[in-house]
Amino acid sequence: MSNSTAHPPVRTPVVSTMSDPSIKVMVELRELHKIYESGANAVHALRGLNVDIPEGQYIAIMGASGSGKSTLLNVLGALDVPTKGSFKIAGRLTSQLSKDELAALRNEYIGFIFQNFNLLARSTAIENCELPMIYAGVPTKKRREAALAALEKVHLSDRGKHLPSELSGGQQQRVAIARSLVNNPRVLLADEPTGNLDSHTSAEILKIMAQLHEVEKLTIILVTHDPGVATAAERVIILKDGRIIYDKPTPRRGGPEVPDVRALSMQEI
């Protein structure tokens, strides 16, 4: 009997789908700008972004502090709206939605993973996972079943009754990932998910995210400063001063080594 391990099929690297209408696009940005008014001054956080993210792609967004990463993540999470241009998720134009409709879209399509975990200190792992479903009006029994199933996906079903203070940093982040999965989102937005973790624990979290990408077929958009973390994705976009200066596949999809944004300048791309 062969001892070889079966591997998931390798996907064709895709950087842009604008010229290929046969590929289903999950996220579409067109000439997207975000401007914050500050007294007599205007801060141009995002400048004319044009991006397609195909359904099921794993993408990393990088950039130095002030590059526009956080603003872009807020727009992609339907937490903020563009000043100019358009943002579509699953074909829905967000600028045409009311606040309630945006909230419903977030609940249906998007799961959030944060650097600081954002767990309720006095709630158990199961109860933290149930929270998004409470907002969605899911009945108690179904909430509990979904929370347990999500904890199973991150290999933490035996810690369901533990408080965050009784869990390690890596375990807390796994609870946060489980919480992001309970409403069966189609897109995961991860904001520096390994930023507060040591290298060994970071590798465990990235392994779980890779499994979610390959098995659950989720679209994953990860923000990071770390080229090593970005290499786990299929594609890297780098922002500088609100503009895209780099958009290429990662080495695992046949692209070049991921640049170190801390030493990057426009001339080096």
Interval 1-47: pLDDT, tens: 444 444 444 434 344 444 556 678 899 999 999 999 877 788 899 99
pLDDT at 145 > cutoff 90:
yes
| Helices 125-135/169-181 angle, 10° precision | 30
Residue 263 banded pLDDT, cuts 50, 70, 90: low
Specify the pLDDT at position 134: 87
> How would you class 262 by CB atoms within 10 Å of its CB: exposed for 0-12, middle for 13-18, buried for 19 or more?
exposed
Q: What's the whole-number average pLDDT of the chain?
A: 88
Specify the pLDDT at position 38: 77
Average pLDDT over residues 36-64: 92
pLDDT at 83 > cutoff 60:
yes
Distance CA 253, CA 9 (A): 12
* pLDDT tens-digit readout, 104-139: 888 889 999 988 899 999 999 999 999 999 888 899
* pLDDT tens-digit readout, 225-236: 899 999 999 999
* pLDDT tens-digit readout, 163-176: 999 999 999 999 99
Length of the chain: 269
pLDDT at 80 > cutoff 70:
yes
In angstroms, how far is CA 199 from the centroid of its own chain? 20
Full set of structural domains in the chain with CATH: 25-268 (3.40.50.300)
pLDDT at 206 > cutoff 90:
yes
> How would you class 87 by CB atoms within 10 Å of its CB: exposed for 0-12, middle for 13-18, buried for 19 or more?
buried
Specify the pLDDT at position 7: 44
pLDDT at 250 > cutoff 70:
yes
Specify the pLDDT at position 19: 53
Distance CA 256, CA 247 (A): 11
Taking a C-beta distance cutoff of 8 angstroms, is the pair 91, 57 a contact? Answer: no
Specify the pLDDT at position 37: 86
Residue 261 banded pLDDT, cuts 50, 70, 90: confident
Q: Above pLDDT 70, what percent of the chain? A: 89
Distance CA 30, CA 89 (A): 12
